[in-house]
Amino acid sequence: MVEIDPTEHEIAELGPKVNGIDDVEELREMLELETGGEDRAPVKTLINSRIEKLEADGEEIDPETVDLAELSIADVANMVRDVDDGDVLRDLLEREKAGEDRSGAITQIENRIESVEGTDEGDGEAVEYVPPEEKHPDLDHPTADKQYVEGVSGETYRDMWVYCETQQGELIEVSKEMLGRAREMMDEYNSEDGYGGDEEGNPEDVVAVLIGDGVGELAEEAIAYGADRVVYHDDPRLERFRHKPYTELYVHMCRDFEAAWRDYHEPRYNVFPATNNGRDLSALVQGELDSGLASDCSDLYIDDAMISNPAKTGKPGDSVEFERVLHMPRPDFSGFEYSTILCIDKPHRDFHPQGASVIPGAFEAPEPDPEREGEIVEHDIDLPDEWFQVEIVDHDTLDSGVDLTGREVIVALGRGIGTDPTRGIELGVELVDAFDDADLGLSRGVITASYAFDGHVADYITEERQIGESGQAVEPDVYIAAGISGAVQHKVGMDESEVIIAINDDPDADIRDFSDYYIEGDLFEVLPKLTAAVEQGGSIEAVTGASDD
């Protein structure tokens, strides 16, 4: 009998529990219970992922001597993934056919052979290319009139461009994080162990883009955080983000801007922040440039990729190694798995710049180097009046933004508010207001739940406040988690906090294991006491002292 029956637990609670199990057979029994009970796809994915990890971490399998009868189809798939020798793969294929003869295992081996060596399927002739407007003359093709749609190949691409978002005259934290990561990637890219620079051996640069009012004053700071070059456009009308002018300016900078240093067609890579404005701009820019975009990425790295898809290689049976590919991992909608997105050219289409938006907090902001030198370039063109047809006549500024990464204190609320969701949020906001520099965060469980919130409280329930694997990653001085169980997906977004204070009425909640202070109690009773303690004492010592009550 298994110790944990998954059908008796919420999805959010199962992550750390499942990841703490090392017995594959017990996990398989749990999978059977879930399949025969709730049958929730995310839970089955979580359990299967744990099984695959344990099996992959086991004894190393020698494909030349392994007894295939002892391997599951999943084991075979994992094993052949790392085999590059066609003779070894063919031997595996013969042994499988002579033994278990499982169609699934045979398919996995044959697919790996095709990936390594290609196939003669389709007699190896190149795929005939027919332009969309000729292939489907009965359909409208609105992209045919777009300014930047191209079907060219062989153009020159260079550099990694980073859109640096600003707020109230300052670089936001995620802009610094992206510059730091871009610097790391391009340093490795330009090294002897990397690509040694571009195709001609010249180093490629990190180019920071600043658009707004007075942003030229931030150029030196962008260089200090890792940029080799800063391209900026200043205009009082750009004080607030606007879709049309920001998109047109960015596209002009990276495509039509005539400058001695920009001796290439377009950037090789474009990176944006996955903020409200950054998400909008990234999609608009990449769409205007007729390329792709991987949104809400949690990591970035540059590597080669072996591709056998004829749509990308142009010829069935060919496996082509694409170089300098930006790998863009992002969490899927379940929060349990990751997909790595690639933006790869086709024989008759260039997909550049390769584009990504990055979740705030995914990377650590580097220490600025005021001694770094770089080039500052002003982008100065006339902005047509039609770009500003919509006039902003009034706006409200929130007391607290949704960028949680720079706060000293985060008060995070979870499903523990479920008995009275509106009151729970109100208590959290009251505690936030008691601090000088604090903000409200939420667990994924609150975002996805069907709670009904009354009045102004509903304004706080936004995805931008989500903390965790598919939200923001924060490192405040103090992190107060109220009614949060401590699922691993939430933990990765806050476990680097200096001090973690957890409030939970479950004495065995997983968050207890990685909290500095654990207050066992009802958040509806504890939060008011903490608020009073902060208002009276104004320090973390006052907060922790309140736990004695």
Rounded distance, CA 70 to CA 65, Å? Answer: 12
The secondary structure of 122-180 as a DSSP string is GGGPPPPP--HHHH-TTS--GGGG-TT-----S--EEEEEEE--EETTEE-HHHHHHHH
Torsion angle, CA of 102/103/109/115, rounded to 10 degrees?
A: -170
Residue 332 has pLDDT above 70, yes or no: no
Per-residue pLDDT, 19? 67
Q: How far apart are the C-alpha atoms of 1 and 3, rounded to whole Å?
A: 7
- How far apart (Å, rounded) are the C-alpha atoms in residues 442 and 432? 13
Q: Do residues 540 and 499 touch, judged by C-beta distance below 8 A?
A: yes
Note the pLDDT tens digit of each residue in 348-382.
778 899 999 998 878 888 999 999 999 999 998 99
Q: Give the model's confidence band at 104: pLDDT under 50 very low, under 70 low, under 90 confident, else very high.
A: confident
Helix axes 421-434, 523-537, angle to 10 degrees: 20
Match 């933004």 to its residue by tokens. 401
Contact 381, 252 (CB under 8 A): yes
pLDDT of residue 49 exceeding 70, the answer is yes
Domains annotated for the chain, with CATH where assigned, are 6-57 (no CATH), 68-117 (no CATH), 158-387 (3.40.50.620), 409-536 (3.40.50.1220)
Radius of gyration of the chain (CA): 27
pLDDT at 417 over 80: yes
DSSP characters for 245-257?
Answer: HHHHHHHIIIII-
Averaged over 225-236, what is the pLDDT?
96
Least reliable range by pLDDT among 69-83, 367-381, 493-507, 530-544: 530-544
Per-residue pLDDT band for 150 (boundaries 50, 70, 90) equals low
HEC assignment per residue over 278-342: HHHHHHHHHHHCCCCEEEEECCCEEEEEEECCHHHHCCCCCCEEEEEEEEEEEECCCCCCEEEEC
pTM for this entry: 0.60
| pLDDT for 74 beyond 80 | no
Half-sphere exposure of 252 (CA within 13 A, CB side): 15
